[in-house]
Amino acid sequence: MSTRESMSPRVTPATDNPPATDASGLLLPVPDDDGEPFWAYAARGELRVQACGDCGELRFPPRPCCPHCRSFTAHWQKMSGRGRIWSYVLPHPPLLPAYAARPGYNAIVVELADAPRIRLVGNLVAAADAALNSVDPARLRIGAPVKAVFHPMPGGVTVPRWLLERP
């Protein structure tokens, strides 16, 4: 082994760490220290975004340092839960076996009404506890107004999902 190789840190490839899934095989979020408050607020039915404690700039995903002023102080600002579909995709074919049983499911990117530079990824559904494919894909439109609802997943994580404001 060369000196250079022995000095390089060992990096574990992402494939060595399988993603967290529920009993049906659906992917679950894995909260980290910076993002844990986001998930805790979601469990209470609140959509909150991290804000700098010094300059007030909103940021997502959460991180320890403000990218604008480099402050390490932060708080979690409550959002209205309203936004618009900024983008979407209908995966064909589903990449994971558990999603193959849900043809026509969607993944959307929502631009928040309170913070247009903040975009969250989720699913458009007919109700908070509805199946991922509960909305006809023909109803998806860029710019459509949506509102957040919250769905508890197995394992104790609650995820935001999205409903059309005008069904």
- This prediction has a pTM of 0.84
List the beta bridge partners of residue 166: none
Closest CA to 110 of 118, 119, 101: 119
Q: Looking at residue 134, what is its pLDDT?
A: 96
The better pLDDT of the pair 89, 97 is held by 89
Contact residues for 84 (Cβ-Cβ < 8 A; gap 6+): 110, 111, 113, 143, 144, 145, 146
State the pLDDT at residue 18.
64
The helix/strand count (H/E) of the chain reads as 3, 8
